[in-house]
Structure 1
Amino acid sequence: MFNWDKVKSERELLIREMLYGNVKEVLKKYPRKKLREAFLKNLHRFDAKNRAFWKLALNISDEEVKERTERGFRKSSFFRDL
C-alpha cells in the first residue's frame, strides 16, 4: 500500500505508514520503541502537525527533539567554505 514506487526499505515503508496510514493501526502494528527510533531519526520528514502528534503519542519530549535536531545533519546550521 505504501510502496507506490516499489521501494523495499522497511524503514521507508514505516515512515510512510506513520505519515499517511491509519494511526491506530500503526500503533497496534509496531512496537513503540521502533516507532520512536524511526521518528527521531527522520524528524525532517514530519510536518508540524505530524510531528506534534507523534511526539505526544510516543511520549517524546521537546528536549529529545531539540537534541536530535541540533545533532542532525539536515537541521544543523553551518557554513561551508567554498
Structure 2
Amino acid sequence: MNFIWDYCFGTETIIRKMVLGNLEDFSELLNKYKEDELKEIFLSNLHRFNGKDRSFWKVILEVSNEEIRRKSKESFRKDFALRNFP
C-alpha cells in the first residue's frame, strides 16, 4: 500500500525513513543520497534517534565518537523550528 508521503523526499521524510524504515527504505536512502548528506542530516537531528537507531546509523555512516560527542554538546534548538500560526 502506498501513501502520499511515500513520494516525499524532504528532510523530515528522510529522518522518518531512517528511524522507522525497513531494509528497503534504508537501501533507497543509501542509493538516492550521498553518504555525506545523510551523515549531516543524522548529526543535525541526533536528538531524534534512540539508542539502537543511533548506533545503527553511526556504523552505516561511519560517524566517529568524537563527532557524536561534539554534536551532542550543541543545542538542538538551532535546528528546531516552530510553525508560526496567525
TM-score normalised by the chain length of structure 2: 0.71
1:78 equivalent in structure 2: none
Q: Is the 8 A contact 1:2 1:17 kept in 2?
A: no
Which structure has greater helix proportion? 2
Gaps of 5+ in 2: 78-86
Q: How does 1:29-44 map to 2 (within 5 A)?
A: 29-44=32-47
- CA RMSD of the aligned region, Å? 2.2
Partner AA of 1:3 in structure 2: W
Higher relative contact order (CA 8 A, sep 6+): 2
Give the distance between the partners of 1:34 and 1:50, measured in 2 at CA.
Answer: 17
Q: What is the number of residues matched between the two proteins?
A: 71
1:3 alignment partner, one of 2, 5, 15: 5
Give the distance between the partners of 1:55 and 1:72, measured in 2 at CA.
Answer: 19
State which drifts further: 15-24 or 37-46.
15-24
State which drifts further: 43-52 or 9-18.
9-18
Query: Would you identify which runs of 4 or more consecutive aligned residues in structure 1 move more than 6 Å?
Result: none
Is residue 26 of structure 1 aligned with residue 37 of structure 2?
no
Paired-residue identity, %: 41
Give the distance between the partners of 2:9 and 2:31, measured in 1 at CA.
Answer: 20
Gaps of 5+ in 1: 75-82
TM-score normalised by the chain length of structure 1: 0.74
State which drifts further: 60-69 or 9-18.
9-18
Give the distance between the partners of 1:11 and 1:73, measured in 2 at CA.
Answer: 15
Q: CA deviation at 1:3?
A: 3.2
